[in-house]
Each structure stands twice: as structure tokens, then as C-alpha cells.
């Protein structure tokens, strides 16, 4: 078994019709069991890199391996390894949480009895049991965020990709989500997380990478990076390494 949850080697990627490369010979490794945070200014390449890692974008140069398996060779097998929690609400608003979990569970390759058991468990943990049979369109933003997370982890993936998993929620919901993510990690799930909420990132991540203009400009344990750059927080480190200028204009 590979010691890396994700191993990226010499990745090159360019959007069709685009003049420049998004990435050139990009290398990155995320160890099994890490709580890894990927940060950078808008347009730095975080989402593109996340999409390459989850197979949503196909690339021609370099390799990406998930737990030692190249993602572009046997998609069915590699897709089984990870869960994905996109920033957008990625479920059917016309359905109830139970119905959503049943559908996404089936698509994740789970059996009916397994889905039923896991659904009860997840709704209990995320405090959604009381609304299990209510249509999601009537839910608050926080409840939708929790369901978004539940669907991403229903099949108990070994790696969990999270894109802004707590955006737009209140403090209580945010704390509940972060607490659950830590619990997942303590049970062996590798977290790969991206967000603009740096306080939250400091609380969750033990290792980070900063990306700017498609290049990894820093990658290490958070405390080591803070020490190296003589900063007391992630926000200061972020500004020091990526500058104060707007980059997405």
C-alpha cells in the first residue's frame, strides 16, 4: 500500500483554447492520514488542481496517483477510493436526505442494507434525523452543507476532497462540521481541504501547501512553515508569500 494518499508527478495541464499552461511539471505529495490544506489566491489553480485530482479534468502530462493507483487508468476503481464535497450543493433538492443518500450510495457502489445502516448513522451524527424525510429544498443553508458532507462520506472513502465545506454557515454548524471531519480523520480518512477561511484551516489542517500562478510555493507542516517564515498565523504567511495585490482581476 502506498504511503501517499495523493502523489502528483510532473503534472502539466492547460484548458482547451487557453494560451498559457495552468500547471507545468507540478509535483505534490499528500501522505496517508494527513489533514492537508491547499490554499492560494483566487485564480491560483486550487480548484483546477482539485478537479485534476478527482478526475473531473483530464490531463495529458504527468501522473496523479490515489493510494498508488493512477487515476486515469481505472476510473471505476479510483473513484471508489475517494469522496468529494464540492462547494456547490451537489444533491437533488426535490428529494429528502434519505432519498438523496440512497441514490448517491447506490452510485457509490454500496448495497441497499449497507446504505440504510450508514444513512441512519450519518443523519444521527450530523443532527439531521428529525428532517430525514423532508424535502431538501426547505432546508437552511447549514442543513444543506451537512447533507452535502454526508453524501460525500456515505461510502466511507479513504480520501475526502473538500472544497469550501463550511461556506455560508453559522458558527455552530461550522464547529459541528469541523469536529466531524476531525473524527473522520482520526478513523483513517485523509482530508484534502481547500478554503478561504484561514482561521478554520488553521484549526483543521496539520499540513498545508500554498499555490500561486499554478506553482506550489510552499509545502510543509503548518507549524514548520510559520516558524520558517516567522509568522504567527496562516493569514500572515499567506500575505507574505502571495502578496497584497488582487490577482483575480
Partner 1 sequence: MYKLRATILKDLLILTRDKIGLLSMFVMPIVLAVVITALQNSTFELVNDNKVPLLLCNKDTGEASRQLVTAIEKVGIFNVKQLIAGKSEKEISERMHKKDALIAIIIPNNFSAEMVLKAKDISGKALTEFGMQADTTGPVAQPMEPVTLLYHPVLQESFRQSIKGALRSTIQLVESKQVLKSLYFSINEKQLPEQLENDILNNQTGILEIPISRDGSRKIPNATQHNIPAWTIFAMFFIVISLGSSIVKEKLNGSFVRLKTLPTNYLVALLSKQLTYLLVTLIQAALIFAIGIWLFPLMGLPGLNLPQDIAGLFLVTLICGWCAVSFAICIGVFAQTQEQANGIGAVSIVLLAAIGGLLVPSFAMPDSFKTIIKLSPLHWCLEAFYGLFLEGGKLKDILINILPLFAITAFLQLAAFAGLKRKHLV
List residues near partner 1 by CB under 8 A: 54-56, 58, 75-77, 79-80, 82, 84, 86, 88-92, 94-95, 99, 102-109, 111-112, 135, 151-152
What is the β-pairing status of strands 215-221 and 69-70?
A: unpaired
Minimum distance from residue 12 beta carbon to partner 1 (Å): 18
SS (H, E, C) 202-231: HHHCCEEEEEECCEEEEEEEHHHHHHHCCC
Minimum distance from residue 38 beta carbon to partner 1 (Å): 17
Minimum distance from residue 123 beta carbon to partner 1 (Å): 18
Minimum distance from residue 93 beta carbon to partner 1 (Å): 8
**For residues 61 and 14, what is the distance between their CA atoms, to the nearest angstrom?**
10
Q: Which residue lies nearer to partner 1 by CB, 15 or 229? A: 15
Q: Which residue lies nearer to partner 1 by CB, 80 or 156? A: 80
- Cα separations (Å) of 217 from 184, 212, 213, 230? 29, 7, 9, 16
Count, residues in the chain: 249
* DSSP assigned state of 241: H
Q: What is the helix (H) or strand (E) element at residue 31, kind and residue range?
A: strand 23-31
Minimum distance from residue 92 beta carbon to partner 1 (Å): 6
Cβ-defined contacts of 75-78 (< 8 Å, 24+): none
Q: Which residue lies nearer to partner 1 by CB, 108 or 242? A: 108
Q: Which residue lies nearer to partner 1 by CB, 148 or 242? A: 148
Q: Which residue lies nearer to partner 1 by CB, 95 or 178? A: 95
Minimum distance from residue 54 beta carbon to partner 1 (Å): 5
Instruction: Annotate 107-168 with DSSP letters as a single string.
Output: HTT--HHHHHHHHHHHHHHTT-GGGTTS-GGGS-HHHHHHHHHHHHHTT--SEEEEESTTTT
Minimum distance from residue 160 beta carbon to partner 1 (Å): 11
Q: Which residue lies nearer to partner 1 by CB, 89 or 175? A: 89
Q: Which residue lies nearer to partner 1 by CB, 86 or 208? A: 86
**For residues 59 and 13, what is the distance between their CA atoms, to the nearest angstrom?**
6
**For residues 110 and 90, what is the distance between their CA atoms, to the nearest angstrom?**
19
Amino acid at each position: 500500500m502506498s504511503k501517499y494518499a495523493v502523489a502528483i508527478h510532473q503534472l502539466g495541464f492547460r484548458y482547451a483554447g487557453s494560451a498559457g499552461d495552468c500547471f507545468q511539471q507540478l509535483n505534490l505529495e499528500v501522505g496517508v492520514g494527513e489533514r492537508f490544506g491547499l490554499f492560494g489566491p483566487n485564480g491560483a489553480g486550487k480548484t483546477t488542481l482539485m478537479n485534476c485530482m478527482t478526475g473531473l479534468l483530464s490531463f495529458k502530462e504527468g501522473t496523479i496517483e490515489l493510494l498508488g493507483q493512477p487515476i486515469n487508468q481505472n476510473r471505476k476503481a479510483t473513484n471508489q477510493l475517494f469522496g468529494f464535497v464540492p462547494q456547490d450543493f451537489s444533491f437533488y433538492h426535490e428529494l429528502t436526505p434519505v432519498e438523496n443518500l440512497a441514490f448517491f450510495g447506490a452510485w457509490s457502489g454500496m448495497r441497499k442494507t449497507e446504505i440504510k445502516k450508514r444513512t441512519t448513522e450519518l443523519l444521527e451524527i450530523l443532527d439531521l434525523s428529525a428532517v430525514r424525510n423532508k424535502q431538501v429544498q426547505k432546508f437552511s443553508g447549514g442543513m444543506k452543507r451537512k447533507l452535502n458532507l454526508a453524501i460525500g462520506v456515505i461510502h466511507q472513502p479513504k480520501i475526502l476532497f473538500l472544497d469550501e465545506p463550511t461556506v455560508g454557515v453559522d458558527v455552530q454548524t461550522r464547529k459541528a462540521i469541523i469536529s466531524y471531519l476531525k473524527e473522520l480523520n482520526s478513523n483513517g480518512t485523509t482530508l484534502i481541504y481547500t478554503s478561504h477561511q484561514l482561521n478554520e484551516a488553521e484549526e483543521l489542517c496539520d499540513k498545508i501547501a500554498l499555490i500561486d500562478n499554478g506553482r506550489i510555493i510552499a509545502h510543509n507542516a503548518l507549524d514548520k512553515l510559520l516558524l520558517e517564515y516567522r509568522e504567527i498565523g496562516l493569514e500572515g504567511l499567506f500575505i507574505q508569500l502571495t502578496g497584497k495585490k488582487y490577482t483575480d482581476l
